[in-house]
Amino acid sequence: MRYRAGIISLLFLLTGCGTGPSTKDVAAFGAATANAVSVIGETASLEQDLAVAYATEVNACRYLQGRPYVVGSLRIVPPVPRLAEQKKFLAALTRYATALSKATDPAAVAELEAAAGKLTESASSLIAAATPANAVAAPVVKAAVKGLVFLSEQQRMQKIRTIIADTDPWLFDAMFILLENDENDRDLLDRRLREWEGAARCTMRQVQPARAGAYQQFMASDKAKREYLERERAANRRVLAVGTLAETHRQLARGQIDLAAATAQINSLLDIVGSLEAIRTEEETQ
C-alpha cells in the first residue's frame, strides 16, 4: 500500500531507547485512537458522492442537449463486503481505545482486559469473513488482574503492555483489511473526479453559447471541484492517520516506540483533517 512506506519510515524515526511509555502516554494514545477510528470509511463516502454527482451532471448535459435524460437518477451502491463484521470490529475498537485512554486510572487494567477480549473476538470474525481459509479462533486475553486492587504505575503499565501485545496481531490484521478497503476507494477517487469534471464541462459547454447562466454554471462547477479536492486531501490524511495508528500499536506491543511522539503525529494528521473541513465549511456558508 502507498501509505505504508511513509508510515514505517516515520515510526523508525520515532523509535526510542528510553525507559518506555508511561500510563499517561498510553492514555493519550487511546484518545488519539478513538478520534482516528471515528473517521474510518470517509473515503468510501467521498467516492459515492462523486459517483452521484457525475450521474447528475451527465443527465443535466443530456437535458440541455435535448437527449434522453433521467431526473433524480440514483446510483445503486454495491453492498459493502463484511459490513456487519466491520461495524462490530469498529465498535469494539472504539471501546478498546476508550479503555486505553483511561490508562492512568487504577481500575484501567480490568476494563482494558475486557475491551481487548471483545476486540480480538470481533477482529477474528472480520478476518475469518475476509479470509475464510485462514480463520483462527481468537485467544482469550488475560493479564492476571483479578483480585488485584492496588497496582503501582510500573505494575499497571506492565499488565497494560501484556494486553496490548496479546491484542495486537488481531487488531493489526483487521485494520489491514479496513485500510485495504480504503486504499481501493482511494484508487477510484481520481477516476471519479475526472468523470465528474468531464460531465460538468459538458454542461458548461451547453450553456455557454446562450451566456445566460453561463457564469453561474462555471462558478458552481469550480466551487464543487475545489470542495471535492479538499475532501480528497482530507480523506488521504485520514487513511494515513489510521495507518499510523495501526503501526504505532504494533510497535508499542513490541516495546520499540516513542509513544508520545507517535501520538503527536497521529493528532497532527487529524488536525490537518479538521483544518481542511473547517475551510470547506466556511466556503459552503459564503
CA-CA distance, 54 to 67, in Å (whole number)?
A: 17
Residue type, 250: R
Query: What is the torsion angle, in degrees rounded to the nearest 10, for the CA atoms of residue 141, residue 23, residue 11 and residue 181?
Result: 50
Find the mean pLDDT for residues 197-225: 89
Helices (H), the chain: 2-14, 23-37, 42-65, 83-100, 108-130, 153-207, 214-254, 259-285
CA-CA distance, 53 to 75, in Å (whole number)?
A: 10
CA-CA distance, 249 to 256, in Å (whole number)?
A: 10
pLDDT-based confidence at 212, cuts 50/70/90? confident
Find the mean pLDDT for residues 34-44: 80
- Residue pair 231/280 in contact (Cβ under 8 Å)? The answer is yes
User: How many structural domains is the chain composed of?
Assistant: 1
Grid coordinates representing 74 are: 440514483
Max intra-chain CA distance, the chain: 81
Query: What separation, in Å, do the N-terminal and C-terminal C-alpha atoms of the chain show?
Result: 38
Main-chain phi, psi angles of 140, to 5 degrees = -85, 120
Residue-level length of the chain: 286
Q: Cα dihedral sign for 88, 92, 95, 97?
A: negative
Chain position carrying cell 486505553: 100
- Give, as one character, the DSSP assignment of residue 19: S
Q: Which residue has the higher pLDDT, 9 or 160?
A: 160
Q: Which domain holds residue 32?
A: 2-285
Query: What is the torsion angle, in degrees rounded to the nearest 10, for the CA atoms of residue 252, residue 253, residue 256 and residue 262?
Result: -20
| Residue 12 pLDDT exceeds 60 | no
Dump pLDDT digits (tens) for 258-270.
Answer: 999 999 999 998 8
Dump pLDDT digits (tens) for 238-264.
Answer: 888 888 999 999 999 988 789 999 999
Dump pLDDT digits (tens) for 178-192.
Answer: 888 777 777 778 888
What does pTM read for this prediction?
Answer: 0.76
Main-chain phi, psi angles of 246, to 5 degrees = -65, -45
CA-CA distance, 212 to 205, in Å (whole number)?
A: 12
CA-CA distance, 231 to 241, in Å (whole number)?
A: 15
CA-CA distance, 164 to 203, in Å (whole number)?
A: 55
Nearest CA among 95, 35, 25 for reference residue 245: 35
- Residue pair 280/227 in contact (Cβ under 8 Å)? The answer is yes
